[in-house]
Structure 1
Amino acid sequence: MTRFTLATLQTSAGPKAAIGVGDNYYQLSEISSNNRLRDASVKSLLEDWSNLFPDLETLAHDIASNVGGVRPQHGTPSTEADLLTPIIWPNKFICVGANYADHLKEMGLSTTKWKTMPFFLSPPTTCLVGPGETVEIPKMTNQFDWELELAMVVGKRLRNATVEEAKGAIAAYTIGLDLSCRDLTVVGGDIPVDLVRGKAQDTMGPCGPFLVPAKFLPDVTNLKLTLDVNGKQMMNSCTSEMLYSCEEMLSVMSEFITLEPGDLIFTGSPAGSAGAHGGCWLKPGDRIHAEIEGIGAFNVRMKRC
């Protein structure tokens, strides 16, 4: 079995779906003789995931085995690739909150499993950006904070799904950063929380750098998560701190909304956000380096809007 990733490359012809094998990315439009792959975006691959995943497995094996004429020189080295967020326009981008025991403990809250799982829709997909100098700090905030999250991608339509059905619908995983304007989230009065100004402005949902198919990560319940800001470690936790598992989250969500292939879900953050470090808020020029075991690393840099 050849492990591969899926990415979206920025090219002179626009965004192109690519398969990552070894240290290179290969544009599907350039190397595949399969019409269903050659003309696909990452999102359209997910929309027919059960049928196209075997084709992607075959392609990855052929690339790794030098079968079919595809050579490393036909790809783009990972160090040179201009990566966008993997799924540019998901139908839904959903965030789960208060899902890590260590984060709740850090905030002085009960670490027992919530009876009702907190989650919210973050409608603007303009939140999503890929790696690089891509994050614009909103002008009106002085408390720009980070959260590192395991992100999962749906590969089947789900409605009122059991936990087992939900587990089988997870197509892939990636890395998400849920950035927040802490001073804009809490507004007081009759409407105490503003999640749009606080958590859903443009570029505040970096995600990437690629998708790792769930087949290559069969167990995500004990993955290490770390986050550094300018080389200093700020987060060091594990997905074992989750209160709701990935499949439980999907099952609960599907009770209220129909989940579709390509939907992106951020699964909550562990402890270690800026507030836990004395309020060392992000500023222009700061660099975040985030890693999740089994997936890889993701880097973004801040700039002023």
Structure 2
Amino acid sequence: MKLVTFELTTQLGKQPRLGAMIDDDQIVDLNSAYALHLSETQGQSAAYQSAEAILPSDMIQYFERGERSRKAAQVSLERLDGTNSTGIRGEQIVYSADQVELLAPFPRPASLRDFGVFKTHMDAAALITGKEISPEWFKLPNYYRGSTSPASIAGHEAPVTWPNYTDKLDFELEWGVYIGKEGKNISVEDAPNYIGGYTIYNDISARDIQFRHMTLALGPAKGKDFDNSNIMGPCLATPDEIDDPYNLRMIARVNGEVWADGNTSDMYYTFAEMISFVSQSETLCVGDFLGSGTVGKGCGWELDRWIQPGDVIELEVEGIGLLRNQIEEKSANPAAWQEKQ
């Protein structure tokens, strides 16, 4: 399945819902669809109560309920035959993609760790900076902790904020996994069983200040921490959707022009190895996100080409879909904070 979190505008305000993406252009409200299925054997009120308990409208709760929720979602999709697109209370069940707003699959991931596992990207960084790849890179998967503030997490078609303190904004063509069940001290062999699904990740970066921060050895800081800087979507593709996760084409387009064309086969570490490494003496939770880092040539910095306000960025990963976002205009207001002299 391709699972999504989509947002509806109701009389009570915006409401996030768990859905399934069908043919990349239709969204099924899984909770309402399952209530419709249950209504055949239960009363209307009981059907909604049971549906909320078995197949909740929240991504984290869905995975926490495990196999029972997964089977209920599958039954819900099989129950729909194209003629029953409204629920037992008359609510809409099936939406076209342009009727809803797609949020990040987990709008509030439990944590965000971004690795750097594409050697082609590391080779390019070494060439640009004149520094050799550390021997430790070949022994240990390395990562930094990114922001999981609700303001920093965004989804498909969300505008990309241009921070008021940078002149060099960049995209990064990445993908990643969400943890689907809690675990600790996980072996590499068992780690694939903890993958809830895959998604595309655009790690928006303010390069000028990022590289200054990184000379201080504490991470990218404001180089990556700003509103809508962690863009994920358009869906979470469950593992059964992906035949071979380490042979997927990855493409980045800017205004329709291909800027990057890579493959997941270039990953030095697998997600199983990353999961096992992180989980040693540390519990991984449902909704934790592990990013791959940038594929080779998958950012403007490597290409010495820079995105501009108004540009449309499209990231595509085979088997998952296409993540599209447009760059906002630069703020006319200068940064309120000024560095010390």
Structure-1-length-normalised TM-score:
0.89
Structure 1 residue aligned with 2:310, among 274, 285, 288?
Answer: 285
Moved more, 235-244 or 50-59: 50-59
Per the alignment, residue 26 of structure 1 pairs with 28
The equivalent residue for 2:58 is 41
Report the CA distance between 1:71 and its aligned residue.
6.9
The amino acid that maps onto 1:102 is T
2:121 counterpart letter in structure 1: H
- Give distance in 1, aligned partners of 2:82 and 2:189: 38
Shift of 1:200: 2.3
User: 1:69-123 CA distances to partner (integer Å, 9 max, x unpaired)?
Assistant: 44797411124332111111111111112x1121122223449862121112113
Moved more, 109-118 or 127-136: 109-118
- CA distance, structure 2, for counterparts of residue 39 and residue 154 of structure 1: 18
Deviations 1:223-246 (A, max 9, x none): 000001112211110000000001
Q: For 2:102 and 2:213, how far apart are their aligned partners in 1? A: 39
Q: Which runs of 5+ in 1 are unaligned?
A: none
Query: Which range is displaced more, 52-61 or 146-155?
Result: 52-61
1:77 matched to 2:96? The reply is yes
Query: CA separation in 2, counterparts of 1:263 and 1:295?
Result: 19
RMSD: 2.4
Structure 1, 264-273 or 22-31: larger mean CA deviation: 22-31
Q: Which residue, 106, 109, 112 being the options, matches 2:124?
A: 106
Between structure 1 and structure 2, the one with the greater Rg is 2
Deviation at 1:298, TM superposition (A): 0.8
Q: Secondary structure at the match of 1:168?
A: helix
Following superposition, the deviation at residue 194 of structure 1 comes to 4.3
Q: Per the alignment, in what secondary structure is the counterpart of residue 163 of structure 1?
A: coil
Instruction: Answer whether contact 1:155 1:170 (CA < 8 A) is retained.
Output: yes
Tell whether the 8 Å contact from 1:187 to 1:194 is kept in structure 2 after alignment.
Answer: no
Pick from 118, 142, 155: which aligns with 1:118?
A: 142
Write out aligned runs for 1:150-161 (5 A): 150-161=175-186
Within the candidate set 160, 170, 174, 1:149 is matched to 174
Unaligned runs of 5+ in 2: 36-50, 332-341
2:189 is the counterpart of 1:164: yes
After TM superposition, the structure 1 = structure 2 runs for residues 12-23 of structure 1, keeping only pairs within 5 Å, are 12-13=9-10, 14-22=15-23, 23=25
- Residue 42 of structure 2 is matched in structure 1 by none
Q: Distance in 2 between matches of 1:41 and 1:176?
A: 21
Matched, 1:96 2:110: no
Moved more, 283-292 or 73-82: 73-82
